[in-house]
Amino acid sequence: MNIASAHEGLTKLLEQVSGFIYPNEIEVHWSILIVVYPYLTGLVAGAFILASLVKVFNVTALKPTYRLALLTALAFLLIAPLPLLLHLGHPLRSWQIFFTPNFSSAMAMFGFVYAWYLMVVLLLEIWFDYRADLVNWGQTAKFPLNWFYRILSLFSKDVSPQAIAFDNKAVKFITLLGIPSAFILHGYVGFLFGSIKANPWWSSVLIPIVFLFSAIVSGIALVMLLYMVITPSRGKPIDMKCLDKVASFLLYAAIVDFSLEILDITHRLYESEESIKIITEMVVNKLFISLVVLQLLIGMVVPLGILIATKLANFNQELRKLLYFLAAILIQIGIFSTRWNVVLGGQMFSKSFRGLISYRMEMFGQEGFLMALTLLVVPFFILALLIKLLPPWGSTETLE
Amino acid sequence: MLAVPLSTPTGGRLMNRLNFVKLLSKSAIILVTGNFFSTVLKGSSDTAAKAYTHMKRYALGIQIDKCIGCANCVKACKIENNVPRQPFYFRTWVERYIIKKNDEVVVECKEGGAGKLSTELEEREILRSFFVPKLCNHCDNPPCAQVCPVGATFKTEEGIVLVDDDRCIGCSYCIQACPYGARYMHPEKKTADKCTLCYHRIKQGLLPACVEVCPTQARVFGDLESNASPLTRLKRMKKIHVLKPELNTKPKVFYTDLDGEVK
């Protein structure tokens, strides 16, 4: 978007300002791309936590989703930094965050947190878990794919029971390391916002924890959706024991998340600090649909009701599947709205607490709706590719 | 038992103890006097040096009761610093406050204070009214510099907060972290921008542009380390307040006669 049209847009926004805002505040700096960023990392953290339930807590019923969850986490993690990069005024200078970071900046820690999670946790765990399969595929696949698997397996050939036992041990250890890492990854994203003392909408110790649990909710719901779509498309039956278990964990996480959100709202209203008046005005005038209707009602209360109903009532399999599917979709809408409300809500009121600012999403352009949509869709293509190359059901169906 | 009778054959031990006490007092005297002289000498040389070569700590005072809202400062700043002319980018601006008799507060800042004021009220409705010039507070504890991921925003030795255009990656985190709305994203440079206290001018002994053009001397520039500076005098003579002190940013724009309604 060129400068002239940007200014035209800002002039229009100026007319929509209600009350008084500082003159520099008219521009909303963190747009929909920054909404997409915490949504993506949340899915990563949540999917990983679901995977870790299998390895660390031995919830064997979840086994069919284990590898799918890992690959989902990887597919989304690869795209997660892109919205940040595209949003920068000088993307080509972004390497400075990695090489000359300012250690007092929460944002500067991104490089370390991201690299740690990608390299040390996710890739290592996937490698150890797939190693035996990679060796196997390296011998059975056709050229040139066999070479691809050989390289991926780092030319290891040992599939003796001892070697596999070691792989399993390594996976367990990395998962143990991975749980706090996943917490750090998304808790850190929450801290980016929660540590801004200038902004009462963000500045809260609860934010990282709310982010974390909403992440777990969204990640579990996504893997559940993927499992429900992919399994029938392969002509295989859905393992209802597994699905029921995933739904149970989704329910538990959603209960914690909902409680935290209600605690946050109650705390704000009860403390009723200086900013409460403008924040209430903002919620009523700017965020009513996205916060009250989408985030709380449709995205949380309704799916919670559905999940509780499936637990209490004796619905048949087909109805349960339908309800789970519906709940998981609604949860995705709800969590995306949560990210929207946090990121954009924090920029829709003036720090003078005297006025409200509007955000107008562009359709095209670097920070527009289409770009955001692309960033949300691309991980699914990456996941499809990963599933093609590293079939998650490889070992369960061939080795067991 | 540690106590030893004086007349016993173990007097040697007693002497040793006396010697020890003497030694202790001698060393204490040496220590104290030595310290005293070194302090005095060092202190005097420090003071002498300070008078001529002390590090400056620049800041700004704003006398609200003197501001007439002419916005000369806003215009001068835009020209001097090549600030984009559109009304979305300001390094300094002037807010007008009207506090009505029913305690309602109307704040206005059209085009940074340089535009035509549009709120018209009957005189009898108004309780009090005043202008408040604003700019970067050059905080001693700047949240913008804390959050900048690459250290592009930094505090100079003189306490002025600056942005390095060649380093800024344009992430806008500093804009989010500034409680005063003093920063904007430069539309052409794509880097964060804000008041520099006219660093290029003050380094040459000139006044910041906004101070230079203020017809009522509402803006007072000075060195906080110098007793003779107009700013130190202002701080001595007037009751001073800063914006949002509860955030512990330690602002260095000092306001006199600041109303509680100003945020």
Instruction: List the single residue in B with minimal CA-CA distance to A107.
Output: B149
Min Cα separation A331/chain B (Å): 29
pLDDT score recorded for residue A372: 97
Nearest by CB to residue B88, choosing from A26, A105, A108, is A26
All residues of chain A having their beta carbon less than 8 Å from the beta carbon of residue B172 are: 29-30, 87, 89
Report CB contact under 8 Å: A20, B108: yes
Partner A contacted by B109 (CB < 8 A): yes
All residues of chain A having their beta carbon less than 8 Å from the beta carbon of residue B178 are: 198
Instruction: List the single residue in A with minimal CA-CA distance to B147.
Output: A105
Min Cα separation A20/chain B (Å): 6
> How far apart, in whole angstroms, are the C-alpha atoms of residue A310 and residue A339?
28
Partner B contacted by A345 (CB < 8 A): no
Using the CB atoms, write b or e for A130-150: b if 16+ within 10 Å.
Answer: bbbbbbbbbeeeeeeeeeebb
Chosen from B95, B108, B139, B171 to mutate, greatest number of chain A CBs within 10 A: B171
Q: Is the pLDDT of residue B51 over 70?
A: no
pLDDT score recorded for residue A182: 85
Is B40 inside a domain boundary?
Answer: no
Partner A contacted by B164 (CB < 8 A): no
All residues of chain B having their beta carbon less than 8 Å from the beta carbon of residue A198 are: 143, 176-179, 247
Nearest by CB to residue A96, choosing from B107, B150, B182, is B150
Q: Which of residues 72-91 of A touch B (CB under 8 A)?
A: 84, 87-91
Encoded tokens for A278? 């403008």
pLDDT score recorded for residue B2: 42
Is B87 inside a domain boundary?
Answer: yes
Report DSSP letters for chain B, one per residue. Answer: -----TTSTTHHHHHHHHHHHHHHHHHHHHHHHHHHHHHHHHHHHHHHHHHHHPPP-EEEEEEGGG-----HHHHHHHHHTT--SSTT--SEEEEEEEEETTS-EEEE-GGGGTSPP-----GGGEEEEEEEEEE----SS-HHHHH-TTS-EEE-TTS-EEE-TTT-----HHHHH-TT---EE-TTT-SEE---SSHHHHTTTPPPHHHHH-TT--EEEEETT-TTSHHHHHHHHS-EE-SSGGG-----EEEES--TT--
From first to last of its 400 residues, chain A has per-residue pLDDT tens of: 578 888 888 998 988 899 999 999 999 999 999 999 999 999 999 999 999 999 889 899 999 999 999 999 999 999 999 999 999 999 999 999 999 999 999 999 888 888 888 888 999 999 999 999 999 999 999 889 999 999 999 999 999 999 999 999 999 999 999 999 988 888 889 999 999 999 999 999 999 999 999 999 999 999 999 999 999 999 999 999 999 999 999 999 999 999 999 999 999 999 999 999 999 999 999 999 999 999 999 999 999 999 999 999 989 999 999 999 999 999 999 999 999 999 999 999 999 999 999 999 989 888 999 999 999 999 999 999 999 999 998 654 443 3
pLDDT score recorded for residue B22: 73
Query: ∠B174-A11-B197 over CA atoms, to 5°?
Result: 40
Nearest by CB to residue B93, choosing from A3, A23, A26, is A23
Q: Which sequence spans correspond to the domains of chain A? A: 28-393
Report CB contact under 8 Å: B179, A6: no
Report CB contact under 8 Å: B179, A27: no
All residues of chain A having their beta carbon less than 8 Å from the beta carbon of residue B171 are: 84, 87-89, 107
Report DSSP letters for A30-48, one per residue. Answer: S-HHHHHHHHHHHHHHHHH
All residues of chain A having their beta carbon less than 8 Å from the beta carbon of residue B175 are: 24, 29
Encoded tokens for A283? 């919620």
Residue-range definition of the domain harbouring residue B251: 58-256
Partner B contacted by A163 (CB < 8 A): no
Partner B contacted by A5 (CB < 8 A): no
Is B141 inside a domain boundary?
Answer: yes
Report CB contact under 8 Å: A105, B182: no
| ipTM for the assembly | 0.93
Partner A contacted by B117 (CB < 8 A): no
Q: Which of residues 7-36 of A touch B (CB under 8 A)?
A: 7, 10, 14, 20-27, 29-30
All residues of chain A having their beta carbon less than 8 Å from the beta carbon of residue B180 are: 22, 351
All residues of chain A having their beta carbon less than 8 Å from the beta carbon of residue B91 are: none
pTM assigned to the model: 0.88
Q: Is the peptide bond before A144 cis (omega within 30 degrees of 0)?
A: yes
Is B17 inside a domain boundary?
Answer: no
Domain count, chain B: 1
Total CB pairs under 8 A between chain A and B: 138
> How far apart, in whole angstroms, are the C-alpha atoms of residue B132 and residue B120?
18
pLDDT score recorded for residue B1: 38
Report CB contact under 8 Å: B181, A22: yes
Confidence of residue B35 (pLDDT cuts 50, 70, 90): low
Radius of gyration (C-alpha) of chain B in whole angstroms: 28
Confidence of residue B122 (pLDDT cuts 50, 70, 90): confident
pLDDT score recorded for residue A15: 87
pLDDT score recorded for residue A236: 93
What backbone phi and psi angles, to 5 degrees, belong to B229?
Answer: -75, 145
Cα separation values, A317 from A158, A241, A290, A310, B110, Å: 42, 10, 33, 10, 63
Nearest by CB to residue B172, choosing from A30, A93, A105, is A30
What backbone phi and psi angles, to 5 degrees, belong to A378?
Answer: -55, -40
Query: Which helix (H) or strand (E) element contains residue A263?
Result: helix A240-271
> Region B19-42: what's the mean pLDDT?
63
Min Cα separation A38/chain B (Å): 15
Task: Report how far apart the first and last C-alpha atoms of chain A are (Å, whole number).
Answer: 55
All residues of chain B having their beta carbon less than 8 Å from the beta carbon of residue A350 are: 181
Phi-psi region of A235 (alpha: psi -120 to 50; beta: other; left: phi over 0): left
Q: The CATH number of the domain where B142 resides is what?
A: 3.30.70.20
Instruction: List the single residue in B with minimal CA-CA distance to A274.
Output: B263
pLDDT score recorded for residue A79: 96
Is B130 inside a domain boundary?
Answer: yes
Partner A contacted by B163 (CB < 8 A): no
Report CB contact under 8 Å: A10, B107: no
Instruction: List the single residue in A with minimal CA-CA distance to B185.
Output: A29
Partner B contacted by A366 (CB < 8 A): no
Q: Is the pLDDT of residue B98 over 70?
A: yes
Instruction: List the single residue in A with minimal CA-CA distance to B93.
Output: A23
Q: Which tens digit of pLDDT belongs to each residue from B202-232?
A: 999 999 999 999 999 999 999 999 999 999 9
